Amino acid sequence: MPTLTITNIRRPGSEKSETLTVENGLIKGWNIKPEGEIIDGNGATLVPAFIEPHAHLREPGQEQKEDLASGLAAAAAGGYGTVVSMPNTSPVVDDPAIVRALIEKAGRLGFARLRPAAALTRGQNGEQLAELSLLAGAGAAVFTDDGRTNENARTLRLGLEYAHSLGLVVSVHAEDAGLRAGGVMNEGAVSEALGLPGNPAAAEAARVARDLEICAMTGGRLHIQHLSTARALDLVRGAKARGVNVTCEVCPHHLLLTDEALRSFDAVYKVAPPLRTQADTEYLLAGLVDGSVDCLATDHAPHTRAEKERDLLEAPSGIAYIEIAFPLLWTHFGKGLGLQKLVELLTVDVARVLGWPAPELEVGQAADFTLLDLDTVRPVQPETFKSKAKFNPWTGQELRGWPVLTVVGGAVAFRRA
Alpha-carbon gap, residue 365 to 372, rounded angstroms: 20
What confidence score (pLDDT) does residue 403 get?
A: 98
- Strand pairing category for 398-399 and 378-379: antiparallel
User: What are the CA-CA distances from residue 380 to residues 184, 336, 385 (Å)?
Assistant: 27, 22, 9
pLDDT for res 249: 98
* Residue 392: per-residue pLDDT: 96
Distance CA 55, CA 215 (A): 24
- Gyration radius (Cα) of the chain, Å: 21
How far is it, in rounded angstroms, from Cα 90 to Cα 189? Answer: 37
Where helices occur in 145-200 by DSSP H, the ranges are 153-165, 177-180, 189-194
pLDDT at residue 406, rounded to an integer = 98
pLDDT at 348 (0 to 100)? 98
- What confidence score (pLDDT) does residue 353 get? 98
Order of all β-strands in the sheet with 26-30: 26-30, 18-23, 4-9, 37-40
Q: Are the beta carbons of 172 and 225 closer than 8 angstroms?
A: yes
Partners of 144 in the β-ladder: 171
pTM above 0.85, yes or no: yes
Q: How many CA atoms lie within 13 A of 31 on its CB side?
A: 5
List 176, 299, 368, 373, catalytic entry: 299
Q: With beta carbons less than 8 A apart as the criterion, state whether 299 and 320 touch.
A: no
CA-closest candidate to residue 392, choices 279, 251, 291: 251
Give the residues of the chain that fall short of pLDDT 50: none
Cβ neighbour number for residue 91 with a 10 Å cutoff: 12
Domains of the chain, CATH where assigned: 48-358 (3.20.20.140)
> Does the active-site annotation cover 290?
no
Give me the pLDDT at residue 147, please.
87
Q: In terms of C-beta density within 10 A (0-12 exposed, 13-18 middle, 19 or more buried), how is residue 328 classed?
A: buried
Q: Residue 1: what pLDDT?
A: 74
Q: Is 101 exposed, middle or buried (0-12, 13-18, 19+ CB in 10 A)?
A: middle
Distance, CA of 107 to CA of 139 (rounded, Å): 13
Please give the pLDDT value at position 93: 98
Q: What is the pLDDT of residue 2?
A: 85
Q: What is the pLDDT of residue 164?
A: 98
Residue whose C-alpha is closest to residue 323's, from 381, 264, 239: 381
Handedness of CA 395, 382, 112, 274 (dihedral sign): positive
